[in-house]
Amino acid sequence: MIQETSTLWLDGAHVGWGEGNVHLLTHTLHYGFGAIEGIRSYRQARGGAAIFRLDRHIERLFASAKAAFLEIPFDRATIERACTEAVRENGLEDAYIRPLVFVSEPNIVFSHWLNRVRVAVLTFPWKGYSDRGREEGTSATFSSYVRPKALAQFYKAKLCGHYALSVAAYSEARRAGYEQALFLDEDGMVCESTGENVFVVKGEQIATPPAARSILMGTTRASVLEIARDLGYRAEERDISRAECLEADEIFTTGTASGILPIRRLEGRPVGTGALGPVTLALQRAYAAAAEGRSELYERWLTPL
């Protein structure tokens, strides 16, 4: 459950949490036409807190809005400042930050430009899905829903409406007894999970689907690729088949909310030995060190609060 905080940022001002309301004719509510981001702040090992890769997240927010022909009525510096202020105003350290660009009312015709574009930034306490999940991992199945390859470029934008397919696939997986699902495209190639990017490990070689597939170019994905190479692993972006997943030694997903999360069972079978793999564990530790300010190598990724 999300823990309610004192304030949120809406259209340039801090307002009470309960004042973050919109009309039922809000255009984005009907058509999913809006852009979102998910950002984390972390308590730092040397005290205080810092937001992880804030500039990259806000850059993507603006790119996503542009892909949907939405003009954000604030500059990037203002939105970045709104994120830092939202965390500070609510006295948070380990937190999740959700910027939202949405189209308001009163017109629900497709001519979205007839309505005002609005921006909100919400934040609340967050330490990830669960400590147990990070260690013990999740189970997954391949979704019956196909991620359309023809829309691969459009899926580079983090748009509200894109997640309708993810929610459907997630619901299907949970009903079948799994905790998440992996998307394939029309070529039978792996795209991503219902909410995260996917990595497979064979020996000490790491692979993740390339930009040509229908994937979000995740910030955590990019961070893990860099960390993996810095640790000496061969990490590449290439096509991954369903069969390769079933034969992998390790599989893990990456995302802002969950960090690095191992998939230890796929289609009812153990992945590798079924235990938390050494490569996943090494990456989890290195990523946590980067996010929590315990690695000088990645201090450039942190925006102190």
d(CA 131, CA 179): 16
- Tokens representing residue 140 in the block: 């997954």
Q: How far apart are CA 90 and CA 8, in angstroms?
A: 9
158 is catalytic: yes
User: What single DSSP character describes residue 49?
Assistant: E
Measure Cα distances from 267 to 133, 142, 241, 296 in Å: 18, 7, 14, 40
Contact 208, 239 (CB under 8 A): no
Tokens of 6: 């004192």
Which of 149, 156, 158, 202 is an active site residue? 158
Which residues are bridge partners to 197 per DSSP?
Answer: 254
Tell me 147's DSSP state. P
SS3 assignment, position 205: strand
Classify residue 103 by its DSSP letter.
E
Three-class DSSP category at 238: coil
Task: Supply 187's token pair.
Answer: 């070529």
Catalytic residues: 158
